[in-house]
Structure 1
């Protein structure tokens, strides 16, 4: 017979609650969710189109891989450095106030880059145009995550975990669809047309997303004389940004190394298939991750998924052919989405409400910067030692990230001051200004 939960025998009363599992259907029935998810997808799809679109355009007009790679790298670095600042401005002044001018400047900058390339302008002018084009890429993924935080603030943490899993899967989908769409337009029409579509989607999707002000998070107005601290002031955010640099190096190293391996094998057409399997593994893992009721802490899950990522990367360099490389890439990809989901979940707990969008953009920017650096270093290694040497970049980047994560994991424990602040019973814990967002 089961013991009664009396004062003398409080067995049932003290028993830990079973983990909550939240399905995607429940998440997507959240009131108002579809009003921002649909325009957000249109606005974030160009994020995965810009780099390839620039590469194909510059290759077609200037005929130089070096020039194309440098222009892409400049745009990526500008995005990585400026993106978090736009995220901070969005926290302070509201998403629409930042997003509308950003997408307008982006469209003009991409148009200038196209005109300069088609006019065979000097290389330095391409660099000048690529800088604002990259810097004004809208941080839609971070803004959507901030909206989920606001929408689910009063629900159990499992809802937010599922939301971040959904966003990770959406990111993977855009990176699967975006490059394919760019390549199809570039080959069937012109490379310039692919970038025109990129700019058009950014503008239309960004403006439509900005118009959904009811679901935007309330902006936080700091107290007079009190300076709002940057999200990067948190040691835990800095650690996660460094760790995500390692994830970005996996993306960058994989892209160029898979391409080089396929070309060396005389099967260049299969490079997209192999990389697609890698991305597909991540997408499947992301879907499953969001359906599991986790018992382990977020910090433990982060350490576990990142360890699996390093183990997966450790086999890539030794694969003898494209078939075995695809299998190894699949295993490696299975660790990507759980790492990203857990990282975004952790960073949400490390900063106050007024810095969440900025915090998300630091992680997104770190991935982009790691991708740019990883692809550059891998390319140089491949030139010197052959395709297999490029796979040392994912292993090295992820390995360094794991060392930092293990050594400094104590920084990922949320401070008491970073708990969510919500207005209850008419008494606001912090000064939230939402009227201007409605």
Structure 2
């Protein structure tokens, strides 16, 4: 497949008016996703010398984001992205600055947790907002798949760029600078996105005669995908910890970043290709197939015995990451009412975030108890669990369109369009 064949569908995406601006603003606004958790660890550990306290504060920030971001998305579905996003970004910026001030000023530790929770809770899921704009701008399933693949690639770029940037700033300049840079970049991107009113998804006024709208989280498809994504997130969170521990045990801690970047690089390549290849089958079958591929590829982690093997396994396993994320997102998009789309997409990312938090904790305990090499069992078993959850939900995902919630996408019966 020639580079022109791969990139031409992406070039056509940006012919959509306003798409360059909202996609790039969304990328900037997403940079804090990997920066704030790591930045909080570097800041708190730098001030106190306690990694246990640093991890607890960072986990508080992540958990509050997981709980609150779907609620922001629900408000945006009802009141519009721009209005709500400006309020959220204002609280996000102020609480982030207050958190850094409290830590550096030696305020009581309880205040660090309160401010970290406030900062995390003020952060909407920017990826779901951008994806909702693509859905509003694109009528056909093929371009939407390409757009979702593009956003999966953007997510990978964020995770390639963010951690090294925050680490360099925190270690070479000062510990607070890394966290503050993430807050400022996220706020600038968020305000920029909020200002782009012309590409906002239209509001869908509820029918007064219709029953009260359920939360999108109660959609069975969203629940199945989000549950599988919790297990996928455990893989991501566990790998961050286990790879760092393994590289340290091998006497080459600086190579941990390279090994993790290889996972992201494999996912980036697969994401670009998935966005242009028109695969057979329905969205349901694609999601199940990519979940199985993800689970099988992760079993290669059992054989990691050196950094060289880890890099090779990382690239192969990385090739399965973007497809399972894109296929799940596409499936959810096809199964929810347009008036609940942003919330539904946000819940899937919440599943990932909860998994990342749990995976990091489980992997840390496993590394301490078993050693880093044996601790690769955590991400391998979590990937297998993702397959089990996806396959267990297959009967629900294969329900006929008539059984789906009222107001769902009219495109469900054309899932196989590609």
The offset of 1:58, in angstroms, is: 0.5
Task: Say which of 373, 380, 396 aligns to 1:411.
Answer: 396
Partner of 2:219: 234
Structure 1 contact 353–421 (Cα < 8 Å) conserved? no
Partner of 1:131: 117
1:168-206 residue CA offsets vs partner (Å, 9 max, x unmatched): 000100111111111121122112112221121122111
Question: How big is the alpha-carbon RMSD for the aligned residues of Structure 1 and Structure 2?
Answer: 1.6
Partner of 1:201: 185
Structure 1 contact 350–412 (Cα < 8 Å) conserved? no
Select the structure that is richer in helix: 2
Task: Tell me if 1:420 matches 2:405.
Answer: no
Helix, strand or coil for the counterpart of 1:240? helix
Task: Tell me if 1:371 matches 2:360.
Answer: no
Partner of 2:246: 261
Partner of 1:57: 43
Structure 1 contact 22–162 (Cα < 8 Å) conserved? no
Partner of 2:4: none
Correspondence 1:236-255 to 2 at 5 A: 236-255=221-240
Distance 2:123 2:317 in 1: 28
Distance 2:401 2:339 in 1: 15
Task: Say which of 73, 78, 87 aligns to 1:92.
Answer: 78
Q: Which has the larger radius of gyration?
A: 1
Structure 2 contact 305–373 (Cα < 8 Å) conserved? no
Correspondence 1:255-404 to 2 at 5 A: 255-404=240-389
Structure 2 contact 296–384 (Cα < 8 Å) conserved? no
Structure 2 contact 335–409 (Cα < 8 Å) conserved? no
Q: Alpha carbons of 1:135 and 1:415: their partners in 2 closer, same or farther (altered >3 Å)?
A: farther
Structure 1 contact 22–158 (Cα < 8 Å) conserved? no
> What is the aligned length?
400
The offset of 1:410, in angstroms, is: 2.4
Moved more, 200-209 or 412-421: 412-421
Partner of 1:18: none
Partner of 1:80: 66
TM-score computed with the length of structure 2 as normaliser: 0.92
Helix, strand or coil for the counterpart of 1:162? helix
Distance 2:83 2:177 in 1: 29
Structure 1 contact 257–379 (Cα < 8 Å) conserved? yes
1:230-260 residue CA offsets vs partner (Å, 9 max, x unmatched): 1111111101000000110111010000000
Structure 1 contact 168–286 (Cα < 8 Å) conserved? yes
Unaligned runs of 5+ in 2: 1-6, 412-418
Partner of 1:6: none
Structure 2 contact 137–199 (Cα < 8 Å) conserved? yes
Distance 1:320 1:206 in 2: 43
Distance 1:98 1:359 in 2: 17
Helix, strand or coil for the counterpart of 1:30? coil
Partner of 2:164: 180
The offset of 1:396, in angstroms, is: 2.0
Distance 1:135 1:407 in 2: 32
Distance 2:244 2:136 in 1: 41
